[in-house]
Each structure stands twice: as C-alpha cells, then as structure tokens.
Amino acid sequence: MSGREENIVLFPFMAQGHLIPFLALALQIRQRTGCIVTVVNTPLNIRNLRSLLPPSTSIRLVELPFRSQDHGLPPESENTDLLPPTHVIRLVYASFSLKPSFKRLISDITQQQGHPHVCIIADMLLGWTVEVANDLGILHFAFITGSAYGVAIFFSLWLELPHRRTESDEFSLPDFPEVSRVHRSQLSAALLNADGTDFLSICNQKNARLTLMSDGFLINTVEEMDKIGLEHLRRKTARKVWPIGPTFSYFINKPRISQADDAVRNCCVKWLDTHPINSVLYVSFGSQNSISHSQMMELAKGLEASGKIFIWVLRSPIGFNVNEEFRSKEWLPDGFEERMRESNQGLLIRRWAPQLEILSHNSTCAFLSHCGWNSVLESLSQGVPIIGWPLAAEQFFNSKLLEEEMEVCVEVARGNSCEVGHEQIASVIELVMGGTEKGENLRRKACAVKEMIEDAVNDDESYKGCSVKAMDEFFYFCRRKIE
Ligand code: UDP
C-alpha cells in the first residue's frame, strides 16, 4: 500500500489459535506496508497481546468493552483456553454483543482517516463484522486461520447439513464433490444434532453465509499444501483468495509469541537436549480441547507401553474444570507420573508448553496432535509427522487432508467420546516412530512439506515464495480498491 494514512483493523476471535496468527499477520502488514494497523479485542485479550509485543510496538491495540459474566460465562473468561470446550460456543455468541462498540470504533476511524482508507480483516467466526463493513461502506476481508480444505468442509456441512439427508454413515458434500466421503464420526455432536432450525444451526449458518460474503479471503495456508480447498473457495465465492501462510514464520528467529514462561521453556529444552535425535513424541491437544478421563488413562498406558520417550501437555479431562490443578493421582494410572519421572521416559507439562521450541528441537520425532491448524503448520514447518487425534470443528478434516491427501499423518482416534485402547495407541506410535517403512515415508513427506513451506515464505530480493507473492497481491488489490 502507499503508506499514507490507511488503517487496517484486525479483529481475531478470542482463542489462542486465532489471536497468535492474527498478531503475526498484524506485524507483517505493519512492517511491509507502513499502514496504521489496529488490533481490536476484548480487554483481557488486549492486555495479553500487549504483554507479548515489545513496548516500542507501533501496532495499535484497542479494547472493546466486554464482561464475560454478562453472557453466562465465568468472570474474566474472555479466551477459549480458560473455558471448558462446551462453553466455547457461548463465547462465539457473546461476541455478537461487541457489534455496536465495534461499529462505533470503525465509524470514528473512518471519520478521522477519510472514508475509503479503512478496511477490516476479521476472523471467520466473526461473520457479523461483514454487516458492520457493509453498513459503513468499507472493505472487509476474512482471515481464515484454519486450512482452506478443513474450513470449506466445515462451512459446507453447516450450510448443507448433508448428513440429515441420508441414513448412511458416509456421505458426500453436494457443493464440494472433490472431497472423498465424510463419515458421521467426523462431525461434532452439535453438527450431528443440527437440523437447520435449531439455534446452533441458525447461528452457524448465518456466520458462514456472512463470512463467505467478504470481499476476499486471506488464508493461513500454503497454495501447494491446500490446493483442493483453495480451488473450492475460489469457485464457491468468486472472490480473491490469498494463501499467505504460515504467518508464524515471521516469528522464527524473532521474539517468541508464546505464553510458556521461561522456567518451563528451559526445562523442556534441557530435557530434550538429553535425548537422542528423532526420539521424542510430543503430545498436545492444543489450547482449548481435551480428551475424556478414560481416554486419558488409555493414552497414558499406550505411551508407557510404546516405550517411546515423550512430552505430554496435560489439561483436565473433558467435563472437569480446566482451571483446576491437574489431579495426576486420579486422572492418570497408578504411579504413572512417578514412573515416568524416575525412568525419564516422559516429561509431563501442565497446561501450556513452548510448542514451537519443542517441535523445532532435533530430538522431536513426531507429534500426537488434535490437528488444530496452527499445530499442523508448526509441526510440518519442522518436518515433524503427525499422529492425528482430531477432537472438534474442522480438526477432523485437517486430519483427513493430512492423512489422505498429504500422507504426513496417521489418525489414531477421533473425537472425545470414541473408545480407543492403549494397544492401538502403542501400535500407531510404533508404526510412526519405530523405523517402519510407513514411518520413514511419513517423515520423508513431512520433510518435503517443510521445504515447500520454507520456499513459500522465502522473501529474498531475487526470489519471492508463493505466500509472499500472495501477500503482495493482497496489498496491491487493497490499494487499487482504496484509491
Ligand atoms: N500452544 C502452545 N502451547 C500449548 C498449547 C498450544 O504454544 O501448550 C499454541 C500452539 O503453538 C498454537 C496454538 O497455541 O500456535 C494452538 O492453535 P491450534 O490451531 O493448534 O489449536 P487450538 O488451540 O486453536 O485448538
């Protein structure tokens, strides 16, 4: 852009997996265009973002008034990582209350800045921001923090409810025929029960419809990795789609955007330093999801039986308060924690680990992940193959993309109500980490994706990768529209 007084206003959803890539995008836009960049959110999230940025930052952070207890949420709960997974949807609904203050803010900025020089880049879960942009006659782009493939299937399922039209467990998507069949076990309980007239259907359909009406889509993905989903979105929306990811690449070798404190970070890195190259399994279900108590027991037994070294980030099992102290004696097999400590087989971390540091350490061999898209990008950018255990939303389709199209993943379980035995878990770990032909293939493919990602974000004078070019094209598009 021209570097005049354009103001780009970014509005992420209130979840770590959305705030982190949005902040990375904000910094990238600021650095590359010199525009005023404003990030908007609720007070506690803004405070958290402020603590992650250097004091000299030129990113403007703006709080919108919000009190979680006014929306049936516990006090001071403005981020999904503080909520049980069942409450996440309440935070989505609560976000509707931000509409009047957001509209006032944008209206004030347009008056100060001059009308055409403002645009919004908002989260795909904040479809109502499209209405604000339309009311004020300004540009609106959606930044999709998931894969194009996963999010496109997720939207298609909510909009078309194809599982309601068949008795069969497997079905295809009427508007997305390129996707091989979807199975009922890949649908969340909310989606399974949706019939188009219930509250959840109405909200999700409205959100998907509005989001798809944005003036264009920035996606935290790489063209080569995610071709099927990107082509689908281009066809379905007839809008510009710019795969600009992974945005976190901006932080590699820069100050870390992570909440893990220094003590945990040092402990993990020191522990990894004591283990051989390619020997450690990293286990994490992201910032907001968890598995059931019985699954946790099986996972612990499976990890122990596999004999493989592991780091496991522990969160309370589903149904228990996420903020309470982790009860190892109750939730893990008898003596598990002590045995792991004494044998040095496993390092158990509470709640939050320095994920990028762990994945980029050369002792890390594989990642047992819920397939949240940030985790996927972080893993593959380090050439680390994935053992998939998707739990919610579009994670099931990320896992499908990784296993069926990219061949960098083996899915071990699905959802937090499925039954999976420890023998099965141990055998998948062995398949991926035990020097099998399959394991070697997974690693080879993951390394090829790592190179693809490095190429995509290459920003040398002489050669720009496809994600960098897509970002430039987005700026060019914006400038033409704004001027
Ligand atoms: N994360 C982390 N440490 C943890 C858990 C999560 O650093 O213990 C970060 C992770 O690196 C990623 C984000 O939080 O950037 C989680 O996003 P993702 O899309 O993988 O999953 P979500 O938490 O949104 O389900």
Tell me, what's the ipTM?
Answer: 0.99
pLDDT attached to residue 88 = 85
Q: Is residue 43 part of a domain?
A: yes
Separation CA 432–CA 366 (nearest Å): 8
pLDDT at 253 over 50: no
Q: In the Cβ-directed half-sphere of 445, how many Cα atoms lie within 13 Å?
A: 20
**Both 238 and 97 in a single domain?**
yes
Residue nearest atom 8 of ligand 1, based on CA coordinates: 352
Q: Which atom of ligand 1 is nearest to the CA of 313?
A: 8
- How many angstroms is it from 81 CA to the middle of ligand 1? 10
- How many angstroms is it from 16 CA to the middle of ligand 1? 6
Q: Is residue 252 part of a domain?
A: no
**Both 268 and 223 in a single domain?**
no
What number is the average pLDDT over the span 114-130? 91
Burial class for 335, CB neighbours closer than 10 Å (0-12, 13-18, 19+): exposed
Q: Is residue 425 part of a domain?
A: yes
Which of 355, 356, 382 should be mutated for ligand 1, with most atoms under 8 A from CB? Answer: 355
pLDDT at 2 over 80: no
**Both 196 and 271 in a single domain?**
no
User: For position 94, which CATH number holds?
Assistant: 3.40.50.2000
Which of 151, 318, 375, 386 should be mutated for ligand 1, with most atoms under 8 A from CB? Answer: 375
Q: Which atom of ligand 1 is nearest to the CA of 258?
A: 7
**Both 184 and 271 in a single domain?**
no
- How many angstroms is it from 151 CA to the middle of ligand 1? 17
pLDDT at 213 over 50: yes
Q: Is residue 227 part of a domain?
A: yes
Cβ contact 353:315 at 8 Å = no
Q: In the Cβ-directed half-sphere of 457, how many Cα atoms lie within 13 Å?
A: 20
**Both 293 and 435 in a single domain?**
yes
pLDDT at 360 over 60: yes
Separation CA 182–CA 64 (nearest Å): 39
Which of 13, 14, 16 should be mutated for ligand 1, with most atoms under 8 A from CB? Answer: 16
Q: Is residue 342 part of a domain?
A: yes
Q: Name every protein residue with a CB atom under 6 angstroms from any ligand 1 atom.
A: 15-17, 20, 258, 284, 286-289, 313, 352-353, 355-356, 372-375, 378
Residue nearest atom 2 of ligand 1, based on CA coordinates: 355
Residue nearest atom 15 of ligand 1, based on CA coordinates: 374
% the chain with pLDDT above 90: 87
Q: Which atom of ligand 1 is nearest to the CA of 395?
A: 25
**Both 232 and 288 in a single domain?**
no
pLDDT attached to residue 260 = 64
- How many angstroms is it from 192 CA to the middle of ligand 1? 26
- How many angstroms is it from 355 CA to the middle of ligand 1? 7
pLDDT digit string, tens, across residues 410-440: 999 999 999 999 999 999 999 999 999 999 9
pLDDT attached to residue 54 = 81
What number is the average pLDDT over the span 213-235? 98
pLDDT at 128 over 90: yes
What number is the average pLDDT over the span 349-377? 96
pLDDT attached to residue 116 = 67
- How many angstroms is it from 31 CA to the middle of ligand 1? 25
- How many angstroms is it from 313 CA to the middle of ligand 1? 11
Q: Which atom of ligand 1 is nearest to the CA of 376?
A: 20
Q: Is residue 250 part of a domain?
A: no
pLDDT at 3 over 50: no
Sorted by sequence, the CB contacts under 8 Å of residue 263 that are 6+ apart come out as none
What number is the average pLDDT over the span 67-76? 94
Q: 3-state SS string over 34-80?
A: CCEEEEEECHHHHHHHHHHCCCCCCCEEEECCCCHHHHCCCCCCCCH
The larger pLDDT score, comparing residue 89 to residue 21, is at: 21
pLDDT attached to residue 255 = 47
Where do the H-state alpha helices sit in 274-402? 293-306, 328-331, 336-343, 355-360, 373-380, 395-400
Q: Is residue 2 part of a domain?
A: no
**Both 162 and 279 in a single domain?**
no
- How many angstroms is it from 24 CA to the middle of ligand 1? 14
pTM: 0.96
What number is the average pLDDT over the span 349-364? 94
The average confidence (pLDDT) of the chain is 94
**Both 208 and 113 in a single domain?**
yes
**Both 449 and 465 in a single domain?**
no
Ranges assigned E (strand) in 101-215: 118-123, 139-144, 170-171, 182-183
What number is the average pLDDT over the span 119-147? 97
Residue nearest atom 13 of ligand 1, based on CA coordinates: 17
- How many angstroms is it from 100 CA to the middle of ligand 1? 30
Give 5's pLDDT tier (boundaries 50, 70, 90).
confident
| Encoded tokens for 253 | 């070798």
pLDDT attached to residue 57 = 86
Give 257's pLDDT tier (boundaries 50, 70, 90).
low
What number is the average pLDDT over the span 94-106? 97
Q: Which atom of ligand 1 is nearest to the CA of 353?
A: 8
Query: What is the domain extent for residue 356?
Result: 262-453
% the chain with pLDDT above 70: 96
**Both 276 and 195 in a single domain?**
no
**Both 132 and 231 in a single domain?**
yes
Q: Is residue 165 part of a domain?
A: yes
- How many angstroms is it from 371 CA to the middle of ligand 1? 10
**Both 215 and 321 in a single domain?**
no
Give 39's pLDDT tier (boundaries 50, 70, 90).
very high
| Encoded tokens for 389 | 């255990």
Where do the H-state alpha helices sit in 137-261? 148-160, 189-193, 199-211, 227-237
Count of domains for the chain? 2
